[in-house]
């Protein structure tokens, strides 16, 4: 088995002493381990007591120095407990020494200089042994702490190296080590594949970042090197590399200097080819969408001019015929003319809705501000729609709060919002009543209008789609509709900085709530 070398800083001093004493590693660690103070001082007392008993027991047989066992007790106490227990052991051992060498007499003449000198030398030598042992204990503990710290640092370094190696070998991103002169000293497989070089090319010094960098990126590199010199790292930047075959590869590069160097560093390189391809595709799609939008605008303009003009003429002449301006008409001719008028009005409404949506989407819908009295506007709308609910035998309830404030908004758009909501309520209600409520919400800073019906209601899955363009609920085939009315309502409410919500229970009816602020703020 190979012998493990200790770090140079740890071979000196207490570690070398420990080896010279040939004390087993586990015994030394156990001996010098930090313990409770009571235990350390207790060990000192027990060691001295044991040394005293052994000395007393074998005193007749000892022909050499009798202070060896007390000295050993002092050393053990200092090693185990430190300076305090060592000095306690020195004091107790001194008492034991006095017991053997000094007579029990108060007469000074009974105490010879030789015995007193022996006692003094013993105490001095014991103190020295205690100090050395305590110092060894402290130094050993410091060395063990240093070794543990060094081992932790080594383990941390190994872990960081392993993590970095996993990144390098993960084939997720290109990594290369560079020198400021232009050489690339090391690179992973991803980077080499990115630029079209082999590892043999790298070993032969053929891979050079300066040669792979197009001239137009040199100013960018100078700026990056200035940032590296100042901060040690530079912000990621986009550039291109010239591949071995002469083609170019777009990349995103982030660099950092190696610790301790100003002319060497590491770069993390991300291939941007796919992203650039997606950006080009997005640009193409955007251009196509813009062209389609321009085509739609031209189409809407064509509809506005080429369809509305003849349609208005059809409606005008139909009105004249029904009003008998060109002579009397037979009864069997009146019904076809009325159907022409109705369908022409429906077509004109659809054209107007398409035009409104187009203006909203293009941001060309204007807001004509002015004072709006909500109660008067509601009465005007109900007057226009009265034939519709009378025809179906429905009841119309009005609950208007008194003294509703006049708001500043667009009266025509509010009229279209409420007309569409009330028309839908009438359209999808076959029996029962329709209720419209207008209340002042001063805390919210506006007026709330609620339209409630007892119609067919909405299924839960329809609530989230009801305001989508061309979405049609159940029963639309029976009642007719383009699927644009509620989409326009939503857009007009938002255009006027208001809010709209809907609650509904299928088979029982729906409740639409519109909130309009007192003041329109663009």
DSSP one-letter code for 183 = B
* Single residue among 362, 385, 400 that ends a domain in this structure: 362
Average pLDDT value for residue range 296-323? 80
Residue 325 within a domain: yes
List all residues 6 or more positions away from 279 whose beta carbon is below 8 Å from its beta carbon.
none
Q: 243 with 106, same domain? A: no
Same-domain check for residues 145 and 188: no
pTM reported for the whole predicted model: 0.49
Mean of the pLDDT values across residues 98-126? 59
∠ CA 475-476-482, nearest 5°, is: 170
pLDDT value for 8: 39
CATH number at residue 471: 3.30.565.10
The pLDDT, as a whole number, for residue 450 is 96
CATH number of the domain bearing residue 337: 1.10.287
Question: Of 271, 296, 322, which closes a domain?
Answer: 271
Answer yes or no: is 522 within a domain: no
The average pLDDT across 89-109 equals 63
Question: Which tens digit of pLDDT belongs to each residue from 193-228?
Answer: 999 999 999 999 999 999 999 999 999 989 999 999
Helix (H/G/I), strand (E/B), else coil: 444: coil
Residue 406 and residue 519: Cα distance in Å, rounded? 10
Give Cβ neighbours of residue 207 (< 8 Å, ≥ 6 apart). 184, 187, 192, 195, 197, 201
> Are residue 395 and residue 469 in the same domain, yes or no?
yes
Given a contact cutoff of 8 angstroms between Cβ atoms, the answer to whether 459 and 506 are in contact is yes
Tens of pLDDT, residue by residue over 349-401, are 888 887 787 777 777 788 899 999 999 999 999 998 998 889 999 999 999 98
Same domain, 13 and 158: yes
Residues 254 and 385 in one domain: no
pLDDT, one tens digit per residue, over 239-250 is 999 999 999 999
Domain count, the chain: 4
Same domain, 375 and 508: yes
Q: Is residue 276 part of a domain?
A: no
Same domain, residue pair 76 and 102: yes
Most confident of 139-153, 209-223, 462-476: 209-223
Same domain as 151, residue 25? yes
- Clarify whether residues 432 and 330 are in a common domain: no
Q: Judge if 17 and 146 occupy the same domain.
A: yes
The reply to whether 212 and 348 lie within a common domain is: no
- 1 belongs to a structural domain: no
Distance between CA atoms of residues 181 and 264, nearest Å: 9
Q: Please identify, among 239, 271, 303, the residue that sits at the C-terminal boundary of a domain.
A: 271
Whole-number CA gyration radius for the chain: 50
β-bridge mates for residue 450, sequence order: 437, 513
Domain enclosing residue 503, as ranges: 370-517
Q: Are residues 122 and 184 in the same domain?
A: no
């Amino acid at each position: 088995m190979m012998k493990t070398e200790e770090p140079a800083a740890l071979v000196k001093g207490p570690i070398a002493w420990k080896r010279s004493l040939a004390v087993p590693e586990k015994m030394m660690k156990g001996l010098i381990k930090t313990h409770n103070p009571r235990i350390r001082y207790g060990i000192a007392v027990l060691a001295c007591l044991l040394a005293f008993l052994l000395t007393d027991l074998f005193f007749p047989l000892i022909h050499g120095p009798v202070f060896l066992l007390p000295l050993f007790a002092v050393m053990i106490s200092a090693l185990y407990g430190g300076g305090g227990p060592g000095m306690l052991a020195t004091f107790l051992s001194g008492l034991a020494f006095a017991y053997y060498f000094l007579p029990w007499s108060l007469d000074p003449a009974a105490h010879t200089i030789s015995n007193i000198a022996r006692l003094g030398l013993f105490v001095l030598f014991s103190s020295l042994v205690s100090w050395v042992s305590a110092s060894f204990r402290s130094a050993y503990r410091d060395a063990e702490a240093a070794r543990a710290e060094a081992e932790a640092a080594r383990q941390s370094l190994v872990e960081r190296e392993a993590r970095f190696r996993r990144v390098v070998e993960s084939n997720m991103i290109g990594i290369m080590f560079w020198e400021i002169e232009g050489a690339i000293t090391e690179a992973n497989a991803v980077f080499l594949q990115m630029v079209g070089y082999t590892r043999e090319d790298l070993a032969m010094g053929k891979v050079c970042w300066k040669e792979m960098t197009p001239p137009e990126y040199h100013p960018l590199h100078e700026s990056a090197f200035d940032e590296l010199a100042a901060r040690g790292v530079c912000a990621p930047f986009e550039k291109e590399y010239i591949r071995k075959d002469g083609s170019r590869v777009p990349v995103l590069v982030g660099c950092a200097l190696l610790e301790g160097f100003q002319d060497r560093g590491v770069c993390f390189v991300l291939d941007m080819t796919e992203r650039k391809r997606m950006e080009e595709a997005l640009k193409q799609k955007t251009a196509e969408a813009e062209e389609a939008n321009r085509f739609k605008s031209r189409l809407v303009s064509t509809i506005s001019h080429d369809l509305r003009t003849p349609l208005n003429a059809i409606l005008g002449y139909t009105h004249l015929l029904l009003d008998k301006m060109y002579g009397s008409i037979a009864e069997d001719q009146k019904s076809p003319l009325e159907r022409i008028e109705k369908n022409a009005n429906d077509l004109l409404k659809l054209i107007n809705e398409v035009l409104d949506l187009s203006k909203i989407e293009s941001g060309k819908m204007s807001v004509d501000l002015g004072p709006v009295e909500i109660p008067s506007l509601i009465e005007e709308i109900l007057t226009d729609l009265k034939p519709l609910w009378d025809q179906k035998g429905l009841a119309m309830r009005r609950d208007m709060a008194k003294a509703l404030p006049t708001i500043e908004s667009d009266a025509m758009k509010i009229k279209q919002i409420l007309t569409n909501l009330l028309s839908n309520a009438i359209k999808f209600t076959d029996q029962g009543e329709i209720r419209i409520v207008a209340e002042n919400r001063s805390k919210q800073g506006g007026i709330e209008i609620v339209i409630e019906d007892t119609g067919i209601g909405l299924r839960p899955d329809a609530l989230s789609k009801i305001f989508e363009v061309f979405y049609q609920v159940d029963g639309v085939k029976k009642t007719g509709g383009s699927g644009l009315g509620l989409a326009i309502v939503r857009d007009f409410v938002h255009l006027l900085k208001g809010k709209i919500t809907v609650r509904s229970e299928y088979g029982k009816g729906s409740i639409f709530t519109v909130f309009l602020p007192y003041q329109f703020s663009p």
